[in-house]
Amino acid sequence: MRTKTETNIQLGHGGGGLLTREFLDRHVVPRFATGPLEGLPDGATLPALENGIIFSTDSFVVHPMFFPGGNIGDLAVHGTVNDVAVSGGIPRWLSLGMILEEGIEQDVVGRVLDSVAEAAADCGVQVVTGDTKVVPRGLCDGMYLNTAGIGERMPEFDLGAARLQTGDVILASGTLGDHGMAVMAAREGIEMAGGPVSDTGPVHRLVQAARPFATEVRFMRDPTRGGVAAVLNELVEDAPLGIILQEDDLPWSTGARAIAETLGFDLLHSACEGRMLMACAPDVAGLILDAWRAIPEGNGATAVGAVTNDDAGRVLLETCMGGRRLVDVPQGELLPRIC
Amino acid sequence: MKYLDGFRNGKAAKALTARLKAAGERLDAQGKTVQFMEVCGSHTMAIARYGIRDLLPDCVKLISGPGCPVCVTDTGYIDAAIDLGKQGHILATFGDLVRVPGSDETLAQIRAEGARVEVVYSPEGAVALAQDNPEKQIVFLAIGFETTMVPGISLVKIAAEKGLDNLTVLCAFKLVPPALAALGSDPEINLDGFICPAHVSAIIGADAYKPFVGPRGVPCVVAGFEPLDVLYAAVELAEQAADGRAELVNQYNRVVKPGGNKVAQAVVAELLELCDEPWRGIGVIPESGMQLREAYAAFDAVKRFGLKLEPGRPHPGCQCGEVLKGKITPQQCPAFDKGCTPTHPLGPCMVSSEGSCAAYYKYVRREAGAETMEVSK
């Protein structure tokens, strides 16, 4: 049986001394210390990549740490892997920074790191460097994570809002807004059969599936904070083009809709953490959808809208009633600490 | 979700839209253009969110009325609340009111300067504040239509039972039917029918609109908040207008009964009595408000603090009054999306989530050819 000091994180676990060594031996070495992290060097030595690199970072403060469908650990991997992937990179290496609150249970840290390891393996990335700090009780809410990711650039992708053309098709890789509603339901203690489950997951295989059609892909993004509305508004903000979405084609899960209707949220504003939005030329849209639907993370893929040359700079929704309305950008933060 | 989907069915919408078009053709043949007012803020939001205006024939217009309780709260009421807050009393209010501009400032501004303005989620929250702060006077800002009167004044009974002598309410309750009568008789507005509110009607009953229909009246449809509810109401009103009929239809009979909620009506009758009431942008409408009866004067903030509510001074660039009467659309206000936005509202219609200006800002924003100009703050 472990004593209390062993079951909970102490300030000393982040102090750089013997307790830190114990922490690393217990949590980090068994999970990550192969390859560049073997021997726990201060920095990872990595090979050069021929086509250049894509580099991204993200911090994770989600509350609660555990939610239906995932936890802060897999979220921290998926978040950065997805940013690298939608930028046209093959994710390769991750850093992992941990800020722990004094008193958090070591078992909780272990469960989160198990999720980090599993998600990293699934994404084909290695955790190659990291850092742990402990702050006094009350100065952080359990655990915050930061990951930075390096990927190898795929030169065939040439992405950007400037490449958008009238008639381009907007694709979604699956149901939208699930993560935001799952976290919201968990936070509010709403338990219901068939309730929302987070979509946290990687999109790198979706990017790979679309790679044969890369020259016809204009834009890729995982719609996280601000949801679909924020991503698409940003895309056409300064463009001479607009986007029209079809409400009847938007893929929602029943659980996410139930929470959104009950609490009065617009699912277009709700975050995803494992979905992709893509704008591509119409002649490859069907081919990309077929390729996506052939892999598990894309089985709910569908076309949701199109790029138009009227209504420049605006995202509109053709509603289930047949009228049109503006899809606005969320005012401020819809759900704080969603990721 | 099946229950909701039934009220958002695209096929049903197409069938109703076809009926609307046919009614529009009949109105065209008679050379008539008609305008119907949706009185309730939730209808305004539903119409904008589902793009229902796009489905209307040119000769049928939907205009938004004074159905958002925050929007019709007089500037002078906000000023009186601000004075109480500055005197050191604790104000308990629902969140929407905090950002509504008074003559010179908002409750949010005086809160930032140290006044205690507490947002509560139910009137019981005000009771808790009174119990936790026995040395302070707590004033609950009780605004709203028939729907919120009972919860709003329930705390008077609780305070009486608990013997709390530090809790009062500042009432600005408003009644919908007198406002409909005032708007319906305004020759400048020229209304041809009302989409009557949903939840107000659940309290007062559909029969409350009987005086508005008949040979000298206009058609009235009590409608729910789902898009097919509202679309059906538009169809019914357009068909009646084309037929020259003016009848009362209760489309929302899944919730609204002809006689309304008798229990709620009894509570209102016990505690409240009619009074003349100022409506922002409209002016004083006789017997359109409710105030505490003399027997409960001890809980009336106006009486306890000797308040005299003066007419306020709305921002000169704000045309909420014209919007509330349906005389202009939000985009026709020079301040819309210029000096006045949801983050920096000049008037209450842009503050409340049910306000017409907020609905247009969120779901419509600009209309082709709509002219706007800069307004200085």
The answer to whether residues A138 and A241 belong to one domain is no
Residue type for position A115: S
Interchain proximity A318–B4, CB inside 8 Å: no
Percentage of chain A lying above the pLDDT 90 cut: 86
Whether chain B has a CB inside 8 Å of the CB on A320: the answer is yes
Q: Which of B53, B54, B342 sits opposite A331 (nearest CB)?
A: B342
Q: What confidence tens digit (pLDDT) does each residue in B201-224 have?
A: 999 999 999 999 999 999 999 999
For A221, the domain range is: 161-326
The whole-angstrom distance between residue A306's C-alpha and the CA centroid of its chain comes to 24
Tell me which of A98, A129, A153 is where a domain ends: A153
**pLDDT confidence of B368, banded at 50, 70, 90?**
very low
In this predicted structure, what is the pLDDT of residue B95?
A: 85
Instruction: Count structural domains, chain A.
Output: 2
In this predicted structure, what is the pLDDT of residue B376?
A: 34
Has residue A337 been placed in a domain? no
Q: What confidence tens digit (pLDDT) does each residue in A68-83 have?
A: 999 999 999 999 999 9
The answer to whether residues A128 and A173 belong to one domain is no
The answer to whether residues A191 and A61 belong to one domain is no
Which residues pair with residue B229 across a beta bridge? none
Is the pLDDT assigned to residue B188 strictly greater than 90?
no
Q: What confidence tens digit (pLDDT) does each residue in B73-97 have?
A: 999 999 999 999 999 999 999 888 9
Joined together, the tokens standing for residue A234 give 């940003």
* Sign, CA torsion B81/B82/B87/B93: positive
- Chain B CB contacts of A322 under 8 Å are 10, 13-14, 17, 51, 54-55
Has residue A338 been placed in a domain? no
Has residue A107 been placed in a domain? yes
Q: How many CA atoms lie within 13 A of B179 on its CB side?
A: 31
**pLDDT confidence of B367, banded at 50, 70, 90?**
low
Average pLDDT of the segment spanning A115-123: 98
Interchain proximity A326–B362, CB inside 8 Å: yes
In this predicted structure, what is the pLDDT of residue A4?
A: 60
Mean pLDDT, all residues of chain B: 92
Q: What confidence tens digit (pLDDT) does each residue in A265-293 have?
A: 899 999 999 999 999 999 999 999 999 99
The answer to whether residues A123 and A182 belong to one domain is no
The answer to whether residues A198 and A237 belong to one domain is yes
Q: Which of A258, A325, A332 sits opposite B50 (nearest CB)?
A: A325
The candidate with the shortest Cα–Cα distance to A330, out of A228, A252, A244, A240, is A228
The DSSP letter of residue B56 is S
Is the pLDDT assigned to residue A306 strictly greater than 70?
yes
Percentage of chain B lying above the pLDDT 90 cut: 73
Q: What is the CATH number of the domain that holds A307?
A: 3.90.650.10
Q: Which of B1, B10, B364 sits opposite A325 (nearest CB)?
A: B364
Joined together, the tokens standing for residue B175 give 């009644």
Interchain proximity B362–A258, CB inside 8 Å: no
SS3 assignment, position A82:
helix
Interchain proximity A257–B1, CB inside 8 Å: yes
Measured CA to CA, the distance from residue A202 to residue A297 in angstroms comes to 8
Measured CA to CA, the distance from residue B74 to residue B289 in angstroms comes to 12
Whether chain B has a CB inside 8 Å of the CB on A257: the answer is yes
Interchain proximity A320–B231, CB inside 8 Å: no
Tell me which of A153, A179, A207 is where a domain ends: A153
- Closest residue of A to B6, CA-based? A320
Measured CA to CA, the distance from residue B55 to residue A114 in angstroms comes to 54
The candidate with the shortest Cα–Cα distance to A214, out of A302, A86, A300, A92, is A86
If you write DSSP's letter for every residue of A135-168 in order, what string do you get? E-TTSSSSEEEEEEEEEEE-TT----GGG--TT-
Interchain proximity B365–A328, CB inside 8 Å: yes
Whether chain A has a CB inside 8 Å of the CB on B286: the answer is no
Tell me which of A135, A153, A171 is where a domain ends: A153
Measured CA to CA, the distance from residue A130 to residue A139 in angstroms comes to 21
Measured CA to CA, the distance from residue B289 to residue A241 in angstroms comes to 50
Q: What is the CATH number of the domain that holds A131?
A: 3.30.1330.10
The answer to whether residues A144 and A189 belong to one domain is no
Whether chain A has a CB inside 8 Å of the CB on B162: the answer is no
Domains of chain B: 1-315 (3.40.50.11740), 320-363 (no CATH)
Is the pLDDT assigned to residue B64 strictly greater than 60?
yes
The answer to whether residues A77 and A115 belong to one domain is yes
The answer to whether residues A134 and A184 belong to one domain is no
Has residue A212 been placed in a domain? yes
In this predicted structure, what is the pLDDT of residue A329?
A: 87
Has residue A332 been placed in a domain? no
The answer to whether residues A146 and A248 belong to one domain is no
Distances (CA, A) of B105 to A309, B87, B338: 43, 15, 19
Q: What confidence tens digit (pLDDT) does each residue in B323-334 have?
A: 888 889 999 999
Give A326 to chain B, closest Cα distance, Å: 4
- Asked whether the beta carbons of A210 and A291 are under 8 A apart, the reply is yes
The answer to whether residues A16 and A148 belong to one domain is yes
Is the pLDDT assigned to residue B253 strictly greater than 80?
yes
Interchain proximity A326–B227, CB inside 8 Å: no
Is the pLDDT assigned to residue A316 strictly greater than 90?
yes
A20 phi/psi in degrees, rounded to 5: -60, -45
The DSSP letter of residue A94 is E
Q: What confidence tens digit (pLDDT) does each residue in A5-37 have?
A: 689 999 999 988 999 999 999 999 999 988 888
SS3 assignment, position A245:
strand
Whether chain B has a CB inside 8 Å of the CB on A187: the answer is no
In this predicted structure, what is the pLDDT of residue B138?
A: 97
Whether chain B has a CB inside 8 Å of the CB on A321: the answer is yes
Joined together, the tokens standing for residue A281 give 């030329």
Whether chain A has a CB inside 8 Å of the CB on B364: the answer is yes
Whether chain B has a CB inside 8 Å of the CB on A248: the answer is yes
